[in-house]
Structure 1
Amino acid sequence: MKSLTIFLTSPAIMLLGSTNIAAQSQKMDVFQNWPKGTSPKEIGDRIAARFVETPHTNFNRPGPPRVITYPETCTWYGVLTFAKVTGNRSLTRQMADRFEPLFADQDTLIPVPDHVDYTVFGSVPLELYLQTRDARYLKPGKLFADKQWGPPEGKRVTAESYRFYNKGLSWQTRLWIDDMFMITAVQSQAYRATGNRRYIDKAAHEMVFYLDSLQQPSGLFYHAPDVPYYWGRGNGWMAAGMSELLRSLPKDNPDRPRIMEGYKKMMAALLKYQAADGMWRQLIDDPASWKETSATGMFAFAFITGVKEGWLDKNIYGPAARRAWLSLITYINADGAVTDVCEGTNKKNDHQYYLDRKRITGDLHGQAPLLWCATALLR
């Protein structure tokens, strides 16, 4: 090897060698060559199979829910997108079968679209329509998306509802960072299903309002204006919401540059706070807080999407996303349940409140982002 090194001192040969190495590096994809049992297809199959067998859940409380909850909606949507990218028509059929009773005797499980956590349900029938072209799904999907823009109606209407509505925003606005997935997901889906730009353009306008209201100079987001903490999953909803929105937002949308700016600023901050093993914490900037899986999954999804779409430097964010994925999947137990998932969380201006949240196993808040990641890695 030493003598070989001596002979390779010609500038032309050295340049050729460097070029070959660069070419080989270009061919190497951090989203390929997974160790056995860790590929997105294998993991996605496991998580999807668990969901197929899971009845409607009630935030880990005993008994069935009164209506379909948003964690179930997000996981249902994740299974459908995974089925699409893998060409698994049988899995799509199983997800359609899960919906079928909602057209009949279980229609009371369909939530009333008078709150962001309920309105996001529209994402599921819209995705079923996109994959099956069955018009039965388009009607409820559009209804949910349309209701988000008002006029205000129902028992949840407040003076604030009218204030936001009169400013051209959704009357369901409440300025919690969670909203920026719940709103953008269903509106992006409505645009994909109908081609009507009104849906995604209004969602983009809403996103800018949230960016201006909640994003801090650090790039991270307060849970709400009166809750100055960088809660992991809350920021995860924002990261995933911006990713879903930007993926379909037309290039000529006037709000796109502002949203992309906010997205990249957030991604840079997340890179700074990622732990060495690839995980993120319950409170992102608190090194004493515990490592949390739902936030990690959402941040990984945002990184993967950004790299795949060309928004983020693949040489920086690609390895970070890979580390997150390989670490995250070690939290899946033998039953296909994700551990260390933060329980459902309201806002509270109390640092300790976030640290004391229970760590749940199998909660759909944690199952859903793994499916999103698997889909994004295969897309």
Structure 2
Amino acid sequence: MKILRLLMIAAILAHVGSVQAQDIKPAEVKEVMQKVADWQIIHFKDTYSGRERAHHPLDWTNGAFYVGLVKWAEMADDDRYYNWMKNIGKEKDWELYKRMYHADDHTVGQMYVNLYRKYGDEEMIKPTTKQFDFMLYHQATTSMDWKSPFHQSRWNWCDALFMSPPVWAQLYNITGDEKYLDFMMKEFKATTDFLFDKKESLYYRDQRYMTQEDNGTKVFWSRGNGWVFAGLVNIMNELDPESKEYKYFLKLYKTMAERLLELQTPQGHWAMSLLGQEFYPTPETSGSSFYIYGFAWGINNGVLDKATYGPAVEKGWNAMVSYVNEEGMLGYVQPIGAAPGNASPDKTEVYGAGAFLSAGSEVFKLYGGK
């Protein structure tokens, strides 16, 4: 097994080494982003991860894709991507997905708010606002304990911090009503107090992993922490940089960024188990894309040092691009899960494309794109 791991690492190093020296050009960033976006839209109703059915259009998997697609739509030369997303909203009457309190089913709200910002049609956000108001006045009081009844009525798994809090921050931003901000802060802090390991500066995926080990290391799932890191950026984008709330998230973001920089592999990606590079040599592009997104955003917004974090962005982005095939499919996306697992060149998922598009949007700016 050890020899096999070494052979895999050597193969990946040889592959990635051929692209690491390439300069990043804004036009090429746009080109590969469009390629990935177009492929994903064409294959939107495909099945992935061994599933028998395609994901529902309002499922979190697609919601995460829309988060990145909105960023690409802002860069594209026409409105066809906006129109494609708008058609989904119209077909579904601008409703969130089926579960009232579950964070995953709120993800699509991020797309609705961004479409509202472009078109000014209040029908686009009316159902989301109504549902969030109901939750405000009927707040879940369940325990964060994973075994407690209805425990996912609150954000007791780290993925949730990407899915729901940015929508609360968006509603606060567009309405000016602090009730959305106050709720988001209260629940985000509760989740962080519960899942954040201060020694490692990383989040456990959920309570089940706090006492587990994987090959003698703590289990910190790459995509799980990627959800959090990207979620922090998406929240801060909605807040006044001078506010105490922004400064809370910025401190957390910088703490994670410093640790994540240490954990990037020589090949440019992050291992599926962040502390277990030796045991997970295969690239994983969804979590890695979120880290590149976060680093590039930090440099672009003057909160991370370019000399320190710029090389990580360059190495990481070139690695991610190398895993996009000729048709535009992003490979090495770990299937749906909650812990480190397997990824391969033929494995993809819609949320991986969303993460890639988010990363590209900031890499484009970093390298001079207008």
TM-score of the aligned structures, taking structure 2 as reference length: 0.79
5 Å-filtered alignment, 1:279-290, equals 279-288=269-278, 289=280, 290=282
After the TM superposition, which of the residue ranges 320-329 and 189-198 deviates more from structure 2? 189-198
Q: Which residue, 276, 288, 304 being the options, matches 1:296?
A: 288
Partner of 1:52: 41
5 Å-filtered alignment, 1:226-237, equals 226-228=208-210, 229-237=219-227
Letter in 1 for 2:174: A
After the TM superposition, which of the residue ranges 224-233 and 359-368 deviates more from structure 2? 359-368
Residues 39-82 of structure 1 show CA distances to partners (whole Å, capped at 9, x for unaligned) of 32112211221233233466541234456210101112221221
| Contact 2:157–2:206 under 8 Å retained in 1 | yes
| Contact 1:57–1:72 under 8 Å retained in 2 | no
Matched, 1:210 2:191: yes
Letter in 2 for 1:129: Y
Choose 1 or 2 for highest CA Rg. Answer: 1
Question: Structure 2 vs 1, CA of residues 125 and 56 (structure 1 numbering), >3 Å: closer, same or farther?
Answer: farther
Partner of 2:18: none
Task: Output the CA distance in 2 between the equivalents of 1:58 and 1:122.
Answer: 23
Question: Structure 2 vs 1, CA of residues 103 and 256 (structure 1 numbering), >3 Å: closer, same or farther?
Answer: closer
Matched, 1:321 2:313: yes
Letter in 1 for 2:100: P
Question: Structure 2 vs 1, CA of residues 150 and 295 (structure 1 numbering), >3 Å: closer, same or farther?
Answer: farther
Letter in 1 for 2:181: I
Task: Output the CA distance in 2 between the equivalents of 1:329 and 1:144.
Answer: 39
Matched, 1:127 2:127: no
Q: CA deviation at 1:184?
A: 1.9
Task: Output the CA distance in 2 between the equivalents of 1:346 and 1:171.
Answer: 14
Q: CA deviation at 1:111?
A: 2.9
Residues 110-142 of structure 1 show CA distances to partners (whole Å, capped at 9, x for unaligned) of 434331111222112111111111222021232
Matched, 1:336 2:322: no
Q: CA deviation at 1:345?
A: 1.0
| Contact 2:29–2:363 under 8 Å retained in 1 | yes
Partner of 1:93: 83
- Structure 1 residues not aligned, in runs of 5+: 1-31, 162-169, 348-353
- Alignment RMSD: 2.9
| Contact 1:293–1:339 under 8 Å retained in 2 | yes
Residues 91-124 of structure 1 show CA distances to partners (whole Å, capped at 9, x for unaligned) of 21222123322239xx7x9434331111222112
Matched, 1:179 2:160: yes
Matched position secondary structure for 2:107: helix
Task: Output the CA distance in 2 between the equivalents of 1:258 and 1:99.
Answer: 33
5 Å-filtered alignment, 1:1-379, equals 34-35=24-25, 39-56=28-45, 60=49, 61-65=51-55, 68-86=58-76, 88-103=78-93, 110-149=97-136, 151-152=138-139, 159-160=142-143, 172-216=153-197, 217-228=199-210, 229-288=219-278, 289=280, 290-346=282-338, 354-355=340-341, 361-378=347-364
Task: Output the CA distance in 2 between the equivalents of 1:147 and 1:370.
Answer: 34
Number of aligned residue pairs: give it: 327
Task: Output the CA distance in 1 between the equivalents of 2:36 and 2:343.
Answer: 24
| Contact 2:142–2:153 under 8 Å retained in 1 | no
Q: CA deviation at 1:359?
A: 7.5
Task: Output the CA distance in 1 between the equivalents of 2:91 and 2:202.
Answer: 41
Between the two structures, name the one with larger relative contact order (CA 8 Å, sep ≥ 6). 2
Residues 300-352 of structure 1 show CA distances to partners (whole Å, capped at 9, x for unaligned) of 111011111111111111221121111111111122111111111136xxxxx
| Contact 2:333–2:347 under 8 Å retained in 1 | yes
| Contact 1:85–1:378 under 8 Å retained in 2 | no
Matched position secondary structure for 2:300: helix
Matched position secondary structure for 1:291: coil
| Contact 1:122–1:142 under 8 Å retained in 2 | no
Matched position secondary structure for 1:311: coil
Task: Output the CA distance in 2 between the equivalents of 1:187 and 1:260.
Answer: 17
Task: Output the CA distance in 2 between the equivalents of 1:115 and 1:128.
Answer: 22
Letter in 1 for 2:184: A
TM-score of the aligned structures, taking structure 1 as reference length: 0.77
Question: Structure 2 vs 1, CA of residues 273 and 148 (structure 1 numbering), >3 Å: closer, same or farther?
Answer: farther
Question: Structure 2 vs 1, CA of residues 74 and 125 (structure 1 numbering), >3 Å: closer, same or farther?
Answer: same
